[in-house]
Amino acid sequence: MKHKLLDRLKIRVSSIRTRMILVFLITSLLTSFTSMFISSISKNLINRMEEMFTANVEIESFLTLMDNVDKNITDYLVSDDSDSMLNYYKNKDIFLEKATEMFDPTAGIYSENDLINKDILYMVNSYLAELDAAVTAKKINDADGYIARYAEADQISQYIRTYADKVNLQTLDVNTNQYLSMSSDLNRLFVLNMVLISTVIVLSLFAVFYLTYNLTKPIVKLADTAEEMTKGNFDADDLVVASDDELKVMANAFNAMKHSIKQYIGELHDKADTESQLLEQQIENLKMQSLLESAELKALQMQINPHFLFNTLNAGVQLAMIEGADRTSNFLDDIAKIFRYNVNSLDRVVKIKDEIDMVRAYCNMFHVRFGDAIHFNYDIDLSLFDIEVPPLVIQPFVENATIHGIGNYEQGGVINITLKRDGNIAKIIISDNGVGMDKKTMKMLTDGIEFKQKKSGHTTGIGIYNVVHRLRLFFGVEDVLEVVSAPNQGASFTLKIPITTEPKRRAAKEGAKKHEI
């Protein structure tokens, strides 16, 4: 119960509204209290100043009343006028009342001033007593008596004036001293008032600035982050709000929203990637299939009953052997090998050794056909024989060299076939000293661009374009062929076979199988 109450209270205290109200209240109250404080002090001081000068005014009033009494008694003593006598008694009462009011010592005697006041009041009594005696003497026509009494009263009135002047001077003296004492303090008070007001203003500004800054800082951060999110950046840091208020709730909600969106987008990306990979795979498969089909179609077009021809050749080989025609037997054997190699499906994997063997057979056949017009040189690294490659990738280049490179080269040609390791690459280099080619042709070959070749009855029909694309698909790398040539400078074709990488096609095939499962 208590906890709940405290929690509720905490929430209320830490809410933005409460904080704003508190700050405004504090600043307003501070300013108001300061104004009231300074006004109150100023008012009190003004009152004090007024009181300081009231005494002098009062004494002047007192002396005026005494003058009135003196005038009335003089009138009466001179004229024996009853009105003057009545006026005397009337003004005497007023005068006495005023004197009592001003100088009454019954409140106690504490100071020199109190003593003087008491003296004045008592002298007023003596003065009036003498005047009364003068009136009495006048009534009985005792001229000497009232003259003597009046003279005495007049003397006393002089004393009263002396004392009144003394009071005036003392009051003035006290007031002057007070003012001199106060003036420096009043100046200091003014300065301090200014300092106080300035401090309150600065304090209020500080409170407002602090509140505003604290309120707007997370909002600005939030806006910045939201702007980043609209640009697709969901990796911005989480908003951290120190205050325990609605902004913190908003920031937490925003962070959660950001994370949710980020996660969702991530999932979408993954899905899209997978789908893209699958699609790519399918496209590649289709391409591969298309190429194979194309190659096979071409091979089939060339083969008229290949098995009949193959069996016939074998029979020819055997006949040649029986007749002791070894060269013929070898020639036919090489042709049989070539036919056998070509008859097999292109959708298989062979080793480089098979390819080299097939090329040797092909070259032997050429040697029988064309004699010494073409020399074949081999530089073979036997350690690379077990590397797997698609079938019929070397033979088309040898065929290309014999037909296009040196086919029309009257001086006779040399074809070098090299197999060597270059790092993780097995390089198969087929070079000739033939007519070479221009740059445009070279670029088309290396870029794998198919160009129409004039069909020749001497070829197997599998073009370089086909080989390049099959190698690319098989190994999953683009850089599979390098051509170096110049017109009449011969040509060099380098097939780059990755050694360590498992052929992509095979991996892709396995992946596709898994996906199907």
Partner 1 sequence: MKWSYKLVLALLSLVLILTASGILFLYNRINNVYHDDISYIFSDNPKYHFSLILKSDSDEYWQDFKEGVYEGAKAYNDVVEFHSVSTVDQESQIVEYINIASKSQLDGVIVNGENSSLYGEAINAARRDGVEVVLGGVEFATTERLSYVGTNFYEYGVQAAKLVSQVQTDDPDIQVAIILSSNHEDGNLDGVTSQNALMMSGFKSVIDDIDNVEIVDTLYRESDLLGAENLTREIFTQYEDIDIIFCTNAKDTVAASRIIVERNLVGKVFIVGTDMTDEIANYVRKGIVAGVLDRNGYLAGYKSVEILHNSLEGNFQPGYLDIDIDVYTLINIAAYHDER
What residues line the site for partner 1 (CB under 8 A)?
A: 37-38, 41, 44-45, 48, 51-52, 108-116, 118-120, 122-123, 125-127, 155-156, 159, 162-163, 171, 174, 178, 181-182, 185-186, 188-189, 192-193, 195-196, 199-200, 202-203, 206, 210
- Least distance CB 77 / partner 1 (angstroms): 20
The C-alpha atoms of residue 404 and residue 438 are separated, in whole angstroms, by 13
How near is the Cβ of 195 to partner 1 at its closest, in Å?
A: 5
Residue labelled with tokens 């298309």? 290
Q: How far is the CB of 88 from partner 1 (least distance, A)?
A: 20
Contacts with 231 (C-beta within 8 Å, 6 or more apart), sequence order: none
What is the closest distance, in whole angstroms, from the C-beta atom of residue 267 to partner 1 in the complex? 41
Q: How far is the CB of 218 from partner 1 (least distance, A)?
A: 15
Closer residue to partner 1, CB minimum distance, 194 or 283: 194
- Kindly state the smallest distance separating residue 476's Cβ from partner 1, in Å: 58
Cβ proximity to partner 1: between 123 and 134 the closer is 123
Given the complex with partner 1, which of 210 and 308 has the nearer CB atom? Answer: 210
The DSSP bridge partners found for residue 475 are none
CB 105, min distance to partner 1, A: 9
Distance in Å, CB of 165 to partner 1, minimum:
13
Q: Do 332 and 313 touch, CB atoms closer than 8 A?
A: yes
Rg (CA), the chain: 65
Closest separation between CB of residue 224 and partner 1, Å? 21
Give the bridge partners for 6, in sequence order: none
Of 391, 394, 356, whose CA–CA distance to 493 is shortest? 394
For partner 1, give the closer residue by CB, 31 or 252: 31
Task: Write out the two tokens for 330.
Answer: 């070898």
User: In terms of C-beta density within 10 A (0-12 exposed, 13-18 middle, 19 or more buried), how is residue 410 classed?
Assistant: exposed
Closer residue to partner 1 in complex, CB, 48/515 = 48
Burial of 474 (0-12, 13-18, 19+ CB in 10 A): buried
Question: Which residues pair with residue 481 across a beta bridge?
Answer: 495
Which of 120/134 has CB closer to partner 1? 120
Rounded Cα–Cα distance for residues 453 and 461 (Å): 10
- The single residue listed with the structure tokens 């062929």 is 481
CB-nearer residue toward partner 1: 126 or 312: 126
Determine contact, residues 160/121, Cβ cutoff 8 Å: no
Task: Using the minimum distance from each CB to partner 1, give the nearer residue, 188 or 421.
Answer: 188
Q: Give me the least distance between CB of 239 and partner 1, in Å please.
A: 18
- For the four alpha carbons of 193, 195, 201 and 203, in that order, the dihedral sign comes to negative
Residue of 31, 46, 41, 42 whose CA lies nearest to 196? 31
* 186 vs 257 by CB, closer to partner 1: 186
- Kind plus residue range of the DSSP H or E element containing 418: strand 413-422
What's the rounded Cα separation, in Å, for the pair 164 and 67?
Answer: 13
Nearer to partner 1, 110 or 235 (CB): 110
Q: Residue 204 CA to chain centroid, in angstroms?
A: 30
Helix axes of 326-343 and 352-370: crossing angle, nearest 10 degrees: 130
